[in-house]
Structure 1
Amino acid sequence: MTNIPVTTWSLEQTSPTDLLPAAAPEGDVRIIRSEVPSPEFSRFLYASVGGDILWIDRLSWTYPRWQEHLERPGVETWVAYDRGTPAGYVELSPQDDGVVEIEYFGLIPAFRGRRIGGHLLAYGAARAWDLADRWPGLPPTKRVWLHTCSKDGEHAMDNYQRRGFKLFDTKVEEETQVTTPGPWPAAYPA
């Protein structure tokens, strides 16, 4: 196995006023919260969005592990649909002291480059800021953060910064290079 250097950038917003809007994409694009915890649907989104950019950390999760994660109070999945077809998602995960992580965000490859990503990210960040309004018992959000890495799409960092996220940490680590997992074998060209 070959090791490759991977740079991870962590970005944050520390006030709802940091959030910068994005123009709505053309066409029938809707963002809807997936309110019923569904390991099957969440795994589909994870594998379909992350297959070509090497998301692998959740591929080994069991059904009960997915269910446990999705049933945590405050974990939310917001899905962008283009004419009724899932196009991408944002997953929010509350942490201690009013911190909310945008744990996963991205688009299925066929929907990239159509201005859906900026719209979905802005919408997801706004839902992170008002998360406590939907979850009694959670403290008001004081900070929203996320991370991206050098394996993500070429426009990821620009999108985050255009939505008002500010860089607060950078790390470079060696990772074992893996073959593209994809949502199914040979889903993407090598």
Structure 2
Amino acid sequence: MLKDGYTDIAPGKIAAVVTYLAMTAPPVDLERPALDLAPLRGDPARYRALFRRVGEPWLWFGRAGLSDDALARIIDDPAVEAYALRHDGADAGLLELDFRNPGECELGYFGLVPEATGRGLGRSLMREAIARAFARPIGRFFVHTCTLDDPRALPFYIRAGFRPYKRAIEVADDPRLAGALPMEAAPHCPVLPPQD
């Protein structure tokens, strides 16, 4: 446990406060919209391109440094569903549902490309995510978000029916310094290179 007060983070590292959220049943008024979802199974290059477009502004790094083989092992797993949301003829959003832990589903990745936000697509995609998650025999659907993510993410998840249950501090190597993301990614989190 961290003590009260400030805790220094080493140069070359990033840190975020992570909030974990879960729901145990779908909302009763859940309407399932008609969406154009393209499966990403077998297409790590397309997944990677969409992951970067959605997550680069927010320093998403969980898949950024993976090899194509490692990424394919995840998205090709029968217990993982990964989709591109198609809108106006282009990939506009990413949805990844992870059922690898029996009895639960993790909303692994969820988001829209910057130019697709503000059109109601996120709400529609979330309804689809909830419906797909609870179409399987699960007792819990969960997600986590952090202070590096879009500040609208946490209230969005709460409005969708998720309830916060835990917080943690995540410390990691800055993926920009390793070349997994461009140095200009996530300008709200300045790069602090390691000191020699």
TM over 0.5: yes
From 3, 23, 46, the equivalent of 1:13 is 23
Aligned length: 177
**In the superposition, relative to structure 1, how do residues 35 and 64 fare at CA in structure 2: closer, same or farther (>3 Å)?**
closer
1:47 and 2:40 correspond: no
The RMSD of aligned alpha carbons is 2.9
Task: Give the alignment of 1:1-190 within 5 angstroms.
Answer: 1=11, 3-16=13-26, 18=27, 21=30, 30-34=35-39, 36-130=41-135, 132=136, 140-177=137-174, 179=176
Residue 143 of structure 2 aligns with an amino acid whose one-letter code is L
TM-score by length of 2: 0.77
Which structure is higher in helix share?
1
Structure 2 alignment gaps of length 5 or more: 1-10, 189-196
Q: Answer yes or no: is the 8 Å Cα contact 1:74–1:93 preserved in 2.
A: yes
**In the superposition, relative to structure 1, how do residues 163 and 21 fare at CA in structure 2: closer, same or farther (>3 Å)?**
farther
**In the superposition, relative to structure 1, how do residues 36 and 184 fare at CA in structure 2: closer, same or farther (>3 Å)?**
same
| Structure 1 runs (4+) greater than 6 angstroms displaced | 180-185, 187-190
**In the superposition, relative to structure 1, how do residues 116 and 64 fare at CA in structure 2: closer, same or farther (>3 Å)?**
same
Per-residue Cα deviation, 1:74-100 (whole angstroms, up to 9, x for no partner)? 211132222111111110111323111
Identity of counterpart residues, as a percentage? 27
Larger Rg: 2
TM-score by length of 1: 0.79
Structure 1 alignment gaps of length 5 or more: 133-139
Matches of 1:20 and 1:179, distance apart in 2? 42
**In the superposition, relative to structure 1, how do residues 74 and 15 fare at CA in structure 2: closer, same or farther (>3 Å)?**
same
Matches of 2:169 and 2:36, distance apart in 1? 34
**In the superposition, relative to structure 1, how do residues 174 and 39 fare at CA in structure 2: closer, same or farther (>3 Å)?**
closer
